[in-house]
Amino acid sequence: MGVAGVNGLDRQAKLSEIEKLTSSSVLHGSESLCNLLRFLTKYSLEHPGSTVKEYQIATEVFGRPADFDPRLDSTVRVQTGRLRSKLAEYYAGDGIEDPVVVEIPRGSYHLLFHHREPDPKPVPAEPAQELALVPHTPQPRRRGLVTRALAALVVLGAFSLGFVAGPLFQRSAAGESSEALRGLWLRFFEGSEPPLVVYSNAAFVGRPETGLRYFNPALDGNPSIHDHYTGVGEVMAIHELDHLFAILHRDMRLKRGRLLTWDDAKTSNLIFIGSPSENLSLREMPGTQDFVFRVASDGPRKGDLSVVNVHPRAGEETTFFSTNGLPIREDYAVVGLVPGLTSAQHALVLAGLTTLGTQAAVEFVCRTKRLEELLTALGAPPQSPFPPFEALLRVKVSGGVPIHSELVAVHRNK
């Protein structure tokens, strides 16, 4: 007989629940998450009441070297967040009747086991057109594969940045009811197909072993092009959208920017991730008109990418650059809700000067409080749909991680 532990559960009951989890459809094929879950289980059983250090998880579970620095590598935080989401999915679906529930409290790496509290009564289903902010039981295709597949495309720092970005803010609670989220996102699910998320994949020349650089048609002639790379911010951004859409109980489709077609644009609502400097599809599709990306043609930052405020309002500056050189401490990003190719389509542009700004732009539109702040700046009622707009964000970066963003300018389009 096992020794009784926390919450009156014995060791065997806890281990049995972990075995059910690792054998479930939710975690099937997620070997890294299963390894993390087993490691946290072992630690919590051997060290009740204490929390394992991020460094220990990084080196013992994910094989990171002894000089692992959590400020530069967010693997543990990202993977723990994914595991936390998987646990929520399992207990909302396959494990809805399990008497034992396993949780990872936010801000820690320690497992908690407790008896399930009986539900007082079932919750009625939301109307079909509403965005129900409830934990989502995934479809068989496994939404989590999206993030794993994109992770294989990462060139650290989108070639020019040598670090990995981490989460910008805590996510909204899964059970939170948000009119602001509905006001922005509902229109993207009006078509017959889920929205198409178009992420940047710039053209590179060279080899990873000897050095990659952006393709320059004026200098490079007609060499072999590498177009299968994207930035870490784009990967984190898609992970964020994946999580949000799971909460909203909606699907999305993915396509590399270089593969987007006119037929796609004419039949889909589009979400562009990345600036026209890397998301080349934005050079041919409708984009923002007030805040545009341009390479400086003169001045001390000649040749650098900037955001230009084409129609500045009173008191607004006209040109914005990210930090000159490394490390990046400040970036700028554009968020724009613009018309699609037809009157039936919508497009959302989420783009930074660097990959970190792009991540911050996506996380901005996934946060209830930030969207409420944006509605106020637009002069729109709190519960109204978002009007077409363009907004400029200033993004503060520390240790290669976007930590704060603020609205610099907001233009309401006609």
Contacts of 233 (CB under 8 A, 6+ apart): 158, 165, 352, 354, 355, 356, 357, 358, 359, 360, 402
Q: Give the Cβ contact number of residue 269 at 10 Å.
A: 22
Residue 276: the pLDDT is: 87
Domain of residue 44, residue span: 6-115
pLDDT per residue over 327-340, tens digit each? 999 999 999 999 98
In a domain, 128, yes or no: no
**What is the pLDDT, as a whole number, of residue 118?**
58
**d(C-alpha 174, C-alpha 246), whole Å:** 10
The answer to whether residues 336 and 393 belong to one domain is: yes
Give a yes or no: residue 120 inside a domain.
no
Asked whether residue 300 is assigned to any structural domain, the reply reads yes
Q: Kindly give the parts of the chain with pLDDT less than 50.
A: 1-7, 123, 125-177
What is the number of domains present in the chain? 2
167 and 271 belong to one structural domain: yes
Residues 231 and 326 in one domain: yes
- Residue 85's CATH number: 1.10.10
In a domain, 183, yes or no: yes
Tokens 């607004």 belong to residue: 316
Claim to verify: residue 325 and residue 389 sit in the same structural domain: yes
* 27 domain-assigned: yes
pLDDT of 169: 33
HEC assignment per residue over the chain: CCCECHHHCEHHHHHHHHHHHHCCCCCCCCHHHHHHHHHHHHHHHHCCCCCCCHHHHHHHCCCCCCCCCCCCCCHHHHHHHHHHHHHHHHHHCCCCCCCEEEECCCCCCCCEEEECCCCCCCCCCCCCCCCCCCCCCCCCCCCHHHHHHHHCCECCCCCCCCCCCCCCCCCCCCCCCCHHHHHHHHHHHCCCCCCEEEECCCCEEEECCCEEEECCHHHHCCCCCECCCECHHHHHHHHHHHHHHHHCCCCCEEEEHHHCCHHHHHHCCEEEECCCCCCHHHHCCCCCCCEEEEECCCCCCCCCEEEEECCCCCCCCCEECCCCCCCCCEEEEEEEEEECCCCCCEEEEEEECCHHHHHHHHHHHCCHHHHHHHHHHHCCCCCCCCCCEEEEEEEEEECCEEEEEEEEEEEECC
Residues 42 and 159 in one domain: no
Q: In degrees rounded to 5, what are phi and psi of residue 389?
A: -155, 165
In a domain, 121, yes or no: no
Question: Tell me, what's the pLDDT at 74?
Answer: 81
Q: Does 173 share its domain with 240?
A: yes
Are the beta carbons of 298 and 314 closer than 8 angstroms? no
34 part of a folded domain: yes
Is residue 280 domain-shared with residue 169, that is, in the same domain? yes
Residue in the block written with tokens 């994910």 = 62
What's the pLDDT at 151? 43
Residues 228 and 330 in one domain: yes
